[in-house]
Structure 1
Amino acid sequence: MSLKPNALLVVTVLFCGIAIVGGTLFLSEGDANSIAIEPAPTLEPHQDIYPLSTEKINALVNVTRESSAQERDSQPVQVIPLLLPSSLLGSTLPLTLDVNESGELIINKKIQHLFDFYLSAMGEESLDIIVTRIKHSLTSQLVDPALTQSVDILTGYLQYLNEVSAIKQQFEQDIDPENIGEYALENVIQVREMVLDARASYLDSNVIDAFFGQADEYEDYMLSLAMINKNNELDTAEKQSAKAELDAAAPAWLLAQQRNANQLNTYRDQYKTLQEQGASQTELQDFTQQSFSPEVADRLATLDEKRQQWQVKLDEYREQLAVITARATYNNNDNDSDSEQQQLEITQLRKVYFTPQEIKRVSALDGITTTAL
């Protein structure tokens, strides 16, 4: 049996883009409904069924702090595997958290990075093991009052992610998988408001600002821009005026990021044109050096080389994948055993070509490709 498209993939990807922690929503200026995302950790099924109850989340994090000595002695000890899960092997460990002179935890993005580092292994490890890893990291570097603060934040953070899982399920159940169509901007805004409410329910305002402040500024800007583009009551001149007012109120860092992105997009368009015109590698390198500072040019050259290597590897994988799927289509095998065999072959093929982290990316790309068929 060939790979089947997932009718809910578009909705799921869209939802994750605005709801999952650390994710950023990008709405292109030309299309109010165009969305691209950066993946980020969420609570996905391993052994438990998500979303979990509030009590279950609290028990996972706070059992050793709130239980009596007798209760703690009667509970099984959660043993942390010696090695990190395969997707985290070789990754840079989170930075040490900051504490002020009074021993209180300094609330900043480092805390979220630590949580997300271990939560990104959901699916490879159960949530209880991941929570144990996070708590071990906290207790190895913090003492009270910072330790208690960090555990409280962890509890709220997990409750928030759990609530996001519930919101996701709700929206998936309300959507007709046979008639998804384009997801309206109003739905995007509605989901985002629910996510913001979930944050406020479980996290203090200073934690929300540290974890999501800059991403929220970006999302507010891009949603406002999308609403301007979508407003059919405004003519071209009025839209330009509205965008100018939006830019005037936008944070300086965001405008600088936009300018850099526009400069990079222009460079890429010109670079592609030169390639199509048959420019030599030396000419392309000269163009890059002329367009940027030496440091940026060197980074771009390294990035281009990595992209080329990735594309070669991806093309080879795609050729082998096509053989597997074509064979199943030719044989017209739709029974469960043949389907399992095909999936096993695809899994083994991915392991040959990609690292565990790359496999996650390729799996997502394969899903998007089949949905588009």
Structure 2
Amino acid sequence: MNARAKLLRAGALALAAGALYFSLHQPEAPAQAANSDPNYFAFVRSMDGTAPDGAVRQDSADKLVVDAELAHLFDYYLAGLGERSLDAIRTEIGRELDRRLKPAAAAAARRLLDQYLDYKRALVDVEKSLPKPASLTDGARARLAAMQQLRHRYFSQDEIDGLFGASDTYDTDAIARMEINADSTLTPAQRQQKLAALDARLPAALREEREAPTRVLRLEDEVQQRRAQGAGDNEIYQLRAATLSPAAADRLAELDREQADWQHRIAAYQQQRRQLLARAAPPSAAELQQLRDAGFTPLEQKRLPAYE
């Protein structure tokens, strides 16, 4: 297998892993009022083609559920800073909260948004004041500790646990892994043993999140082997559905169709381009551009140099 083929295969598998990852972690759509009918335009250009993160919700008593999903929603819009003003972002978050939540829960979420923004502003100053760390691991641990201490100025303990508990678990685990991998006194067997112990202590949801992309790659290796042995689309679908879920199998089947369509268009483009280049008179830039426009969108055309 040549280098280009390896890269293309790796890219296809990475896309598959990403598609499945989101299929495994796609939250149930939050209930919305019948007349809300949200129309998710691109709030900023860099968000084109996306929908707001965060499955924010209220409980059976219409009280706001304070969890990581709320922070995900805030961070989704705050990523647009630089393209839109903070006031515009705060206003848009408020609209999104009103679309998803009942009035009391939405008001509580907006109060938390104000606290969250104050915390983020203060965090900038705290990070500037941190001393230069002796190592990357020391720096990560000092930053996490400073963040955790600062939160108590802006949130109750329940709010801290809800908004940041999951991310703190992930960060603490990541730092521990950094320390193990950086410890030159460990033998390979000792290092593997310590990493396995960390795996065993992970919450089930976080362990699933860490393992999902790797599981997809293993599955897609088996898919390629089955296809080489003559397996059809139905057999592949059954394999994926049994290993993962019918919804994940549907998404991966759609990815297969998109990839097959892309390869078909690329093959046709390469053949027509060779024909143009083989003429006695070299093709003009306009002719080559016309060929690109006939088969590909402007965004897709950015990928064409890899196939020329």
Q: Which interval holds the TM-score relative to the shorter structure?
A: 0.5 to 0.7
**Cα offset, 1:158, TM superposition:** 0.9
Partner of 1:98: 58
1:229 maps to amino acid: N
2:222 and 2:154 map into 1 onto residues whose CA distance is 48
Equivalent position SS for 2:195: helix
Q: Rate the CA distance shift 1:227–1:270 in 2: closer, same or farther, 3 A.
A: farther
2:171 maps to amino acid: E
Equivalent position SS for 1:303: helix
1:197 and 1:307 map into 2 onto residues whose CA distance is 48
Q: How does 1:186-335 map to 2 (within 5 A)?
A: 186-268=138-220, 283=231, 288-289=236-237, 291-293=239-241, 295=246, 296-306=248-258
1:85 has 2:33 as partner = no
For the Cα contact (< 8 Å) 1:100–1:106, is it kept in 2? no
1:219 and 1:128 map into 2 onto residues whose CA distance is 30
Q: How does 1:50-65 map to 2 (within 5 A)?
A: none
Partner of 1:55: none
**Cα offset, 1:90, TM superposition:** 6.3
1:115 to 51, 56, 74: 74
Q: Aligned residues: percent identity? A: 24
1:264 and 1:84 map into 2 onto residues whose CA distance is 30
1:208 and 1:161 map into 2 onto residues whose CA distance is 14
For the Cα contact (< 8 Å) 2:219–2:240, is it kept in 1? no
1:110 and 1:282 map into 2 onto residues whose CA distance is 43
2:92 maps to amino acid: R
For the Cα contact (< 8 Å) 1:156–1:202, is it kept in 2? yes
Partner of 1:159: 118
Give the superposed CA RMSD. 4.4
Cα deviations by residue, 1:172-198 (Å, 9 ceiling, x for unpaired) = x979xxxxxxx8333333333333334
1:234 and 1:95 map into 2 onto residues whose CA distance is 42
Cα deviations by residue, 1:91-118 (Å, 9 ceiling, x for unpaired) = 54676641553x5433234433443343
For the Cα contact (< 8 Å) 2:132–2:139, is it kept in 1? no
1:204 and 1:221 map into 2 onto residues whose CA distance is 24
Structure 1: state its 5+ residue gaps.
1-82, 176-182, 317-351, 363-373
Q: How does 1:120-131 map to 2 (within 5 A)?
A: 120-131=79-90
1:110 and 1:163 map into 2 onto residues whose CA distance is 22
For the Cα contact (< 8 Å) 1:85–1:124, is it kept in 2? no
1:310 and 1:119 map into 2 onto residues whose CA distance is 34
Partner of 1:353: 298
Q: How does 1:361-372 map to 2 (within 5 A)?
A: none
Equivalent position SS for 1:115: helix
**Cα offset, 1:210, TM superposition:** 2.2
1:293 maps to amino acid: A
For the Cα contact (< 8 Å) 2:237–2:253, is it kept in 1? no
1:195 maps to amino acid: M
For the Cα contact (< 8 Å) 1:221–1:246, is it kept in 2? yes
For the Cα contact (< 8 Å) 1:112–1:211, is it kept in 2? yes
1:309 and 1:159 map into 2 onto residues whose CA distance is 48
Equivalent position SS for 2:153: helix
1:289 and 1:137 map into 2 onto residues whose CA distance is 37
1:137 and 1:257 map into 2 onto residues whose CA distance is 27
Cα deviations by residue, 1:132-156 (Å, 9 ceiling, x for unpaired) = 2333444675445x45532321111
